[in-house]
Amino acid sequence: MGIEIQGVSNPRISREYPNKPQFPEQRSKLGRARVPDAVSRKKDIGKSLDILREVFRMFNRRLKFSVNEEIDRVVVKVVDGSTDKVIKEIPPEEIQKLVARIRETIGILFDEEI
């Protein structure tokens, strides 16, 4: 159901399936919506990180990215550019320690091998 106006049509709009992607480049060969592959995601993340670093540089700040292996999470530190002092840590160090202790406790309670 809808309003049709004579002489006005849009060939990109599908009348059969209103929820399917309208452009063929949005669909994979199997007919499902395409999920970006790991290489393109890494490129996109790299570009975003470069933009973030440049913005923070304008405010005399730096971003440091690391992975806390104990909790398997990315940790971001905002560092003052002139003093090298950590201004903010995401997630906070206390939360990282708490998550590690919770995982350790769960490991003690549910000691199983797979």
Residue pLDDT, tens place only, 18-59: 454 454 454 555 555 555 677 788 888 889 888 888 888 889
Residue 45 pLDDT: 85
Instruction: Map residue 57 onto helix, strand or coil.
Output: helix
**pLDDT computed for residue 6 by the predictor:** 52
The 8 Å CB, 24+ separation contacts for 101-110 are 103/70, 103/71
> CB–CB of 33/22 below 8 Å?
no
The distance from CA 86 to its chain's CA centroid, rounded to whole angstroms, is 24
Radius of gyration of the chain (CA): 24
Structure tokens at 27: 């669909």
Q: What mean pLDDT value characterizes the chain?
A: 76
Query: Structure pTM?
Result: 0.53
Ordered DSSP codes for 5-52? -TT---TTS-SS-TTS-SSGGGB-TTSSBPPPPHHHHHHHHHHHHHHH
pLDDT at 13 over 50: no
Listed range (41-50, 70-79, 94-103) with the worst mean pLDDT:
41-50
